[in-house]
Structure 1
Amino acid sequence: MSVVVNKQRPINPIDYFPSGLVLPAVPLAVAEPNALLRGDTAAAVEEMFATAASDGVSLTLVSGYRSFQDQVSTYEHWVAQYGGDTAAADRISARAGFSEHQTGLAFDVGQDDGACTLSSCFADTPAGQWMAANAHRFGFILRYPLGAEGITGFSGEAWHYRYVSVELAQAMRKDGVATLEEYFNLPPAPGY
């Protein structure tokens, strides 16, 4: 749970594959099973989504685990989108072997109506606001907070959450610490 993956700390081994991936029983943004998560993470996601629903907030799981090869494709897509500018792509997409999605502990969340999916305006949706206020209760942290790019290496992503355990998520919130780098007193990781 306390593993830190960033631009200075690749996954080891680089082609790591987590065992025990499962598809959480929650609403998915897409029909294909690209939302696999580790069992502990999936159970926490299911509990969190159920609580959100009881609070009148409908969440959807946008994506979860990505293999090394899937991340190669994702990163290449963003490099192409930015006309070959890897520096621009590096601000919003991890290179393969440096992505939290490969751990099975990270996921992207959205609102059930698709409003602001994978967009900064997600933070202002009922789903985004509920996640910001409640995710820590279930062991999740917002991994890339707005304004922390110099520490995490990525632009703010109001939709990208990471399972760290209830104890750690609540301790970080209580201490007012926004990033894993700061919590574990690690150096910032603004670049590779």
Structure 2
Amino acid sequence: MSQPSPAVQRRRMTVAVALILVLLAVAVVVVGAVSAGANGGAAGASASPTPTETPRPAPAEAAPPATVDTFDKAAHSLDDPMSIWVVVNKLRPMNPLDFEPEDLVFVPVEYTFEPYMRQEASDAVVAMFDAAESEADLFLASNSAFRSFGAQENIYDGDDLSTARPGFSEHQTGLTMDIGASSGECSIEQCFGDMPEGIWLRDNAYRFGFILRYPADKTAVTGYEWEPWHFRYVGIPLATEMHDRGITTLEEFFGLPPAPSYE
């Protein structure tokens, strides 16, 4: 068989070399692509953001339930002198000035001066005195109860911090009693507030419908100095409501203006 001519051999060599170069180029491309893919995958894996929870605002605190005042402040008149809620102070005189209750009765308790009160208040005083004796072995007495307009004229001494003017005294309502110890110790004196009898009354009078009318820290509201002996009957519902809510004066409970002085 005859040898191909040198020209043919050179062409064949050129084609073979070209083919080899093409194959090498393809191989390089494939290897580069694979390598890039692997590196890219790793990079992608490392670059992927770590899943995190979406921040949520803290829930707002629930507002406290609204307080609904269910106590009926209009159950009794504050102006009618026969109402057990009548408010008498230096701005609110009795009407008429010489008013006298029609249902006054003698109060069957130990006393300094014969006590008269309206029937409902009298019954409450008797129950309260009995409870003081049975619960705490304390013995109470009345120092003063109902006082008429004329009687107040004789008592008023011009000291507006300690004595009411005629027609402006709660005693005229027949719903008030000045209470002391049966021993007479500290009668109508502020030291009564520190005695066992005074402390018991302060803490328990509301159970029987009474309030301590002139507290030590309310002179600017009531117009009177502390009288730990002066208890006013308003009925158990109101006395209990005031006790439970920590409101100590009728003026503040009913939203009336303070009465530190006469007009």
Q: TM-score normalized by structure 1?
A: 0.91
Larger-Rg structure: 2
User: Is residue 9 from structure 1 mapped to residue 9 from structure 2 by the alignment?
Assistant: no
Aligned residues with identical type, % of pairs: 47
Q: 2:119 corresponds to which residue?
A: 39
Q: 1:82 corresponds to which residue?
A: none
| Structure 2 CA distance for aligned equivalents of residues 17 and 2 of structure 1 | 16
- 3-state SS of 1:43 partner: helix
- 3-state SS of 2:128 partner: helix
Q: How many residues of Structure 1 are paired with residues of Structure 2 in the alignment?
A: 178
Q: Deviations over 1:126-181 (max 9, x none)?
A: 11011011000000000000011000000010000000000000000001000000
**Structure 1 residue corresponding to 2:193, chosen from 123, 127, 132:** 123
Q: 1:22 corresponds to which residue?
A: 105
1:61 maps to amino acid: S
- 3-state SS of 2:177 partner: strand
Q: Deviations over 1:11-38 (max 9, x none)?
A: 01111010111111111124xx2x1100
Displacement over 4 Å in runs of 4+: none
Q: 1:51 corresponds to which residue?
A: 131
More strand by share: 1
What runs of 5+ residues in structure 2 fail to find an aligned partner?
1-83
What runs of 5+ residues in structure 1 fail to find an aligned partner?
80-88
Q: TM-score normalized by structure 2?
A: 0.67
| Structure 2 CA distance for aligned equivalents of residues 111 and 126 of structure 1 | 9
Q: How far did residue 113 of structure 1 move?
A: 0.6
User: Is residue 72 from structure 1 mapped to residue 153 from structure 2 by the alignment?
Assistant: yes
2:134 maps to amino acid: S
Q: 1:84 corresponds to which residue?
A: none
Q: Which has the higher contact order (CA 8 A, sep 6+)?
A: 1
2:121 maps to amino acid: T
Q: 1:111 corresponds to which residue?
A: 181
| Structure 2 CA distance for aligned equivalents of residues 53 and 24 of structure 1 | 17
Taking the TM superposition and a 5 Å limit, the aligned residue runs for 1:62-101 are: 62-75=143-156, 78-79=157-158, 89-101=159-171
Q: 2:22 corresponds to which residue?
A: none
1:19 maps to amino acid: E
1:28 maps to amino acid: Y
| Structure 2 CA distance for aligned equivalents of residues 185 and 135 of structure 1 | 23
| Structure 2 CA distance for aligned equivalents of residues 69 and 180 of structure 1 | 26
| Structure 2 CA distance for aligned equivalents of residues 187 and 29 of structure 1 | 35
Q: 1:190 corresponds to which residue?
A: 260
